[in-house]
Amino acid sequence: MPSWGLRTEGGASAVRPCPRRGFGPPLVSGQRGLDAAVPVRTLESMKKPISTEAAEAAVAAHYGLLLGIQSPWQVKAVDLKLEAKRVEVALEHDAQAAVGCPQCGRACARYDHAPERQWRHLDVMQFLTVIRARVPRCQCPEHGVVTAQVPWAEPHGRFTLMFEAFAVTVIEAARSFVQAMEILRVDWHTIQEIVRRAVERGLLRRSTEQVVHVGMDEKSFGRGQDYVSVMTDLTGQRVLDVVKDRDTAAALQLWEALPEPQRRRVEAVAIDMSAEFAAAARTAAPQAAIVYDRFHVSKHLNEAVDKVRREEHRQLLEKHDESLTGTKYLWLQGEAVTGERALSFGELCARNLKTARAWCHKETFVEFWAQPDVAGARDFFRHWFGAARRSKLEPIKKVALTLKDHLLGLLNYFVHPITNAISEGFNSKIQAIKADARGFRRFENYRYRILFHCGKLDLLPAIQ
Ligand SMILES: [Zn+2]
């Protein structure tokens, strides 16, 4: 069982795990631990009625043990509210003990007390447990009058470290915020606050030294046309940061997720073909190769095929020909079409429809990615581009020109074979987060949730 003791040096915990007593400071010889204060009742003494004071002392000692309270803190009173199923444990700081300055750790004279505060603790036997205390303030010769750091909570925290650690674990595992709220018996804002604190803690501890391949992608946010931009560490498979909007300024802000020296070490960045992400990458990490993401390229080709299909479908319908009705997804799936539908798809392809020709250009381009090297890919592209430009299919001709304009970034794939597939993989997680919150009103909350679940951060508070 972890126990809370006095911090001894420089504000940082100097305690070592003790196999018998948990993570508090080991008892100094001659020091009376709280466990020594538990009254031992013999059979004879149990026959006598116990006094109220003795009973209260026993309960206080019991909670002291249960919560791992150690000198100079002790349990002053235990207030059991049966109806409310709530226990309030009042702690007090030994009036004679020195108070450690939270900034330099120096043992200082007590100055006064801060007003009483409360911390939610882990439930004890289903009783909601709250710790109350007036924290002493000391007068440090160097730092002036400062409030001591309590060993059971982080500064400004409303929960004990153990409650916060438990809550983080519950939120990580819960299907939704609502489920976590029910288990922890806290409100929505409290959960959001725990998430925020966990992410801030994680970001402070995060190392980005190994980040050499990054991905940048946009995602929709909220109901309207709002977008956010997301940066991912493609090797570490984690989200590095999320910012509002998808313009160049937003993309530049996203790069700040990496410290300056690390930005210079990024070798390649996978992006879609939008000018904004490319411009930001050239400014923030000019040495990094820009690699256009192959899944975005195939999205553009699919859109071109669909444009051809819609136009041709309209023309055929005028002639009462319904050949293309309900075929939209056949053309998107392409060769993956199986079963009876494959038969009709084969017939469609054989009919020399414009849609079928457009589909062929799209499917042929898949081979681009299978080329052995840059030279092979360049060669392949020249042939593919020539055929696409002669296709007389406007959407295909247009997408071919776009690809030609971005050819360098397409060829970079053969030097740095990276894609945004990982960040696409985060999509389902991010969708679930969005659905759970039914549209975030505040972007910040959305960002914290994404980093909480997809950032692979070290979220737990350090329990002493
Ligand atoms: Zn100090």
User: pTM value?
Assistant: 0.79
Residue partners of 296: CB distance under 8 A and separation at least 6: 272, 273, 420
At 46, the pLDDT band (50, 70, 90 cuts) reads: low
Q: What pLDDT does residue 196 have? A: 95
| Average model confidence (pLDDT) across the chain | 84
pLDDT one-digit tens code per residue, 139-169: 999 999 999 999 899 888 899 999 999 999 9
Task: Please answer whether residues 220 and 246 qualify as being in contact, where contact means their C-beta atoms are separated by less than 8 angstroms.
Answer: no
Residue 338: count other Cβ atoms within 10 Å of its Cβ: 9
Distance (angstroms) between ligand 1 centre and the Cα of 173 equals 40
Q: What pLDDT does residue 64 have? A: 82
Q: What pLDDT does residue 288 have? A: 96
At 20, the pLDDT band (50, 70, 90 cuts) reads: very low
* Mean local confidence (pLDDT), 265-274: 94
Burial (CB < 10 A; 0-12, 13-18, 19+), residue 413, is buried
Angle at alpha carbon of residue 343, lines to 340 and 349, rounded to 5°: 145
* Mean local confidence (pLDDT), 19-44: 44
Q: What pLDDT does residue 379 have? A: 97
User: DSSP characters for 368-417?
Assistant: GGG-SSHHHHHHHHHHHHHHHHTS--HHHHHHHHHHHHTHHHHHGGGTS-
- Residue, of 50 and 420, whose pLDDT is higher: 420
Q: What pLDDT does residue 39 have? A: 53
Distance (angstroms) between ligand 1 centre and the Cα of 109 equals 11
Angle at alpha carbon of residue 93, lines to 91 and 98, rounded to 5°: 165
Instruction: Say which range, 79-83, 304-308, 341-345, 415-419, has the weakest mean pLDDT.
Output: 341-345
pLDDT one-digit tens code per residue, 367-387: 999 999 999 999 999 999 999
Distance (angstroms) between ligand 1 centre and the Cα of 157 equals 21
**Is the pLDDT score of 436 beyond 60?**
yes
pLDDT one-digit tens code per residue, 237-258: 999 999 998 899 999 999 999 9
- Residue, of 192 and 439, whose pLDDT is higher: 192
Q: What pLDDT does residue 25 have? A: 40
Distance (angstroms) between ligand 1 centre and the Cα of 144 equals 7
* Mean local confidence (pLDDT), 82-92: 92
Distance (angstroms) between ligand 1 centre and the Cα of 143 equals 5
Q: What pLDDT does residue 9 have? A: 37
Residue where the block lists tokens 């400062």? 146
pLDDT one-digit tens code per residue, 197-229: 999 999 999 999 889 999 999 887 766 678 889
**Is the pLDDT score of 181 beyond 70?**
yes
* CA pair distance 105, 272, nearest whole angstrom: 52
Q: What pLDDT does residue 334 have? A: 65
* CA pair distance 261, 374, nearest whole angstrom: 30
Distance (angstroms) between ligand 1 centre and the Cα of 148 equals 10
**Is the pLDDT score of 422 beyond 80?**
no
pLDDT one-digit tens code per residue, 281-332: 999 999 999 999 999 999 999 999 999 989 988 988 888 887 777 777 777 7
Q: What pLDDT does residue 8 have? A: 36
**Is the pLDDT score of 14 beyond 80?**
no
Distance (angstroms) between ligand 1 centre and the Cα of 137 equals 11
3-state class (DSSP) for residue 207:
coil
Q: What pLDDT does residue 52 have? A: 78
* Mean local confidence (pLDDT), 332-354: 69
Distance (angstroms) between ligand 1 centre and the Cα of 106 equals 6
Residues with Cβ–ion distance below 5 A, ligand 1: 101, 103-104, 140, 142-143
Q: Which two tokens stand for residue 360?
A: 């062929």
Distance (angstroms) between ligand 1 centre and the Cα of 110 equals 13
* CA pair distance 413, 374, nearest whole angstrom: 8
**Is the pLDDT score of 427 beyond 60?**
yes
User: What is the percent of the chain with per-residue pLDDT over 90, rounded to a whole number?
Assistant: 56
* CA pair distance 93, 96, nearest whole angstrom: 9
Distance (angstroms) between ligand 1 centre and the Cα of 139 equals 8
- Residue, of 396 and 41, whose pLDDT is higher: 396
